Amino acid sequence: MIVSPSVLAVDYSRMNEQVAQLNASGAQWLHFDVMDGHFVPNLTFGPDILKGFKKLSPLFMDVHLMVSDPAFFAKVFQDAGADLITFHYEAMESDEAIRKLAQEIHARGGKAGLSVKPKTDVTVLEKFLHDFDLFLIMSVEPGFGGQSFMENSLEKMSWLRGKLDEAGLNAHIEVDGGINDKTGARAKEAGADVLVAGSYVFKNDIGKAVKSLE
């Protein structure tokens, strides 16, 4: 399993110490939640914060855009050093715009991901299976850390893993929201291979929490 701790839950008064623990934890990715106060009712980080994290950590930068204008912010965060840009299906106007943005992200040398919120039917992803490196199934309403895992995400992951297998594709399935050792194990069983965890990692012993998700 790839573990992608969400820095939304970092204690910013102890940021250096916590990122050092993360670097030593075995986590491979770092999940960076960008919220614009419009697509979701919360506001988080700009690109300079990502640059700061990159100075502290060699981990793969997994950027989750919860914004109304993903095309604009994809470039901003790739210029700042994002390795993967995941944007939301719900923020896009058309299938063409979704494919175009995936191509732009790839052309700039990054990996591209597409995400669905809990109330979005997962079958909307079917026509994009060949266009993305990763699909992100939200297991909470995006916007805030610390919410409870939504069970309906499990059947979405199994459906998606089935479709990817049928098509001979090995895109990642990432799950985000309410992940701990128990929900993480269930998500893994359902076909996820990337676990995002914020509160669970940073409110416990970071090294032990990451190990328990691997």
* Binding residues vs ligand DX5 (CB under 6 A): 6, 8-9, 31, 33, 64, 140, 142-147, 176-179, 196-200
179, interface contact from Zn ion, ligand DX5, none, CB < 5-8 Å by kind = ligand DX5
Alpha-carbon gap, residue 180 to 3, rounded angstroms? 11
DSSP alpha helix (H) spans, the chain: 15-23, 47-56, 70-79, 95-107, 152-166, 181-190, 199-202, 206-213
Q: For residue 139, which amino acid is it?
A: S
The answer to the question of residue 36 lying near Zn ion (CB under 5 A) is no
- Say how far apart CA 125 and CA 142 lie, in whole Å: 18
Is residue 176 flagged as an active site residue?
Answer: yes
Kindly state whether residue 88 participates in binding Zn ion, applying the rule CB under 5 A. Answer: no
User: Which residue has 């039917």 as its token pair?
Assistant: 121
Give the pair of three-digit tokens for residue 158: 């199994």
CB-nearer residue toward Zn ion: 69 or 100: 69
For residue 208, the minimal CB distance to ligand DX5 (Å) is: 16
Under the binding rule (CB under 5 A), the answer on residue 64 touching Zn ion is: yes
Q: Find the shortest distance in angstroms from Cβ 66 to Zn ion.
A: 7
* Annotation says 33 is catalytic: yes
Residues 47 and 77 sit within 8 Å (Cβ to Cβ): yes
Chain residue at closest Cβ approach to ligand DX5: 198
Of 67, 30, 13, the residue nearest 201 (C-alpha): 30
**From 78-86, 99-107, 114-122, 176-184, span contacting Zn ion (CB under 5 A):** 176-184
> Which of 33, 36, 62, 133 is an active site residue?
33
Q: Which residues of the chain form contacts with Zn ion (CB under 5 A)?
A: 33, 64, 176
Active site residues: 33, 176
